[in-house]
Amino acid sequence: MSDKRIFLSPPHMEGNELEQVHSVFESNYIAPAGPHIERFERRMAGYTGFAHCVALNSGTAAIHLGLRLLGIRPGDLVIASTLTFIASISPALWLGAEPLFVDCDARTWTMDPDLLEQALGTARAEGRRVGAVVPTDLYGQSADYDRIRAVCGQFDVPVLADSAEALGALYQGRPAGRGACVAAYSFNGNKIVTCSGGGMLATNDADLADHARKLSQQAREQAVHYEHTEIGYNYRMSNVCAAIGLGQIDVLDRRVSRRREIFARYVALLSDVPGISFMPEAHYGQSSRWLTVILLDPEQFAASPEQVRLALEQENIESRPVWKPMHCQPVFAGARHVGGSVAESLFARGLCLPSGTAMDKKDIERVASIIRECAA
């Protein structure tokens, strides 16, 4: 077994981040306030094309504040992709809403707009209010926003894009998340760029952004003493994390190119193996290929995804199953869902491969050769 562990998607720092952090120490803004936060927000606004960005301590916080400010109330339905990480929907439950999960389109692995229309139609027929639709940009691939927005427009429901996994991806040439009422990004340690932990709420609505900023700081009113007229959270990003983020945003485009190269290298090394296929790239966009994901066909490939995962683990290599769909999670037993078989099949057949941008040619070859051996 090699001593060098290959992680799924570890942080990748190059140096500029440390310079930014040094400048924080020099200025002593080691606090959840400071100039780097504003700078990072401006950089993210420039990058994503949203007018306003609010830096928070996680992507989950961005989804929570976004849903609260879109007016989610107890008893609402919130519609989310079933193929996602639980943070897409858990904040809706904190607000007292009920989840309704929608399957993905096999061609994109993101929310199927036709099934979404069906879900919204059923909710309307039942007289249920839908507070928001939360499509997930999965593994670096944007959901089909134009179609989703058109459907949501018919029902007058706002879209909150869970773009936690897709910073750097494009939809019709536009940055992932753009076009939604609110988009949430994550800078968790495993993301394409990271602040160790952090998130960003992005919107074109100035009032919503101001309110999010206020709620993220315990909803303190503008007064010298501590005055409160509503209940908030401690969700603000720290200035130290923002400094790391500023260093990382400089290299984001390079990171996207490298992730795409890694994907292409895996394809070159494995696409001739019977029974292996790769996550498709949607015709409407450019995936950041945050993670390279393969599908194994049990009719043609001798090992299951779990056997491949264990074989990689034996060699000190981390890989991960595709997200277990939300409608299959014990915590959501009995939750409503429209479709679900596509997500179930992707979960049964899929495996996420190491995709970190610091991987070298040899690392990729090592991973690919172990997978190849499993086919025999």
Ligand X SMILES: Cc1ncc(COP(=O)(O)O)c(C=O)c1O
Query: Which residues contact ligand X by CB under 6 A?
Result: 58-60, 84-85, 87-88, 136, 162, 164-165, 186, 188, 199
Q: In whole angstroms, what is the distance from residue 200 CA to residue 135 CA?
A: 17
Specify the pairing of strand 52-56 against strand 320-321: unpaired
For ligand X, the closer of residues 141 and 188 by Cβ is 188
For ligand X, the closer of residues 59 and 232 by Cβ is 59
Q: How far is the CB of 373 from ligand X (least distance, A)?
A: 30
Helix ranges (DSSP H) in 35-193: 35-48, 59-69, 90-94, 113-125, 145-155
For ligand X, the closer of residues 20 and 88 by Cβ is 88
For ligand X, the closer of residues 69 and 195 by Cβ is 195
Q: How far is the CB of 120 from ligand X (least distance, A)?
A: 22
The 3-state DSSP class for residue 20 equals helix
Which residues make beta-bridge pairs with 141?
138
For ligand X, the closer of residues 159 and 303 by Cβ is 159
Q: How far is the CB of 272 from ligand X (least distance, A)?
A: 31
Angle, in degrees to the nearest 10, between helices 35-48 and 239-249: 40
Q: CB pairs under 8 A, 24+ apart, for 226-234? A: 233/61, 233/64, 233/65, 234/57
Q: How far is the CB of 283 from ligand X (least distance, A)?
A: 22
Using alpha carbons, select from 106, 109, 62 the residue that is nearest to residue 81. Answer: 109
What residue is closest to ligand X based on CB?
Answer: 59
Q: In whole angstroms, what is the distance from residue 121 CA to residue 139 CA?
A: 29
Cβ count near 248 (within 10 Å): 26
For ligand X, the closer of residues 17 and 162 by Cβ is 162
Q: How far is the CB of 157 from ligand X (least distance, A)?
A: 20
Q: How far is the CB of 186 from ligand X (least distance, A)?
A: 3
- Whether residue 141 contacts residue 287, with contact meaning beta carbons closer than 8 Å, is answered with yes
- Whether residue 109 contacts residue 282, with contact meaning beta carbons closer than 8 Å, is answered with no
Q: How far is the CB of 42 from ligand X (least distance, A)?
A: 20
DSSP 206: H
3-state DSSP helix/strand/coil % of the chain, to nearest 5: 40, 20, 40
Q: In whole angstroms, what is the distance from residue 311 CA to residue 86 CA?
A: 27
For ligand X, the closer of residues 29 and 185 by Cβ is 185
For ligand X, the closer of residues 60 and 216 by Cβ is 60
Residues 6 or more apart in contact with residue 218 via CB below 8 angstroms = 228, 232, 233, 234
Q: How far is the CB of 139 from ligand X (least distance, A)?
A: 9
325 is written with which tokens? Answer: 């769909």
For ligand X, the closer of residues 136 and 355 by Cβ is 136
Q: How far is the CB of 317 from ligand X (least distance, A)?
A: 21
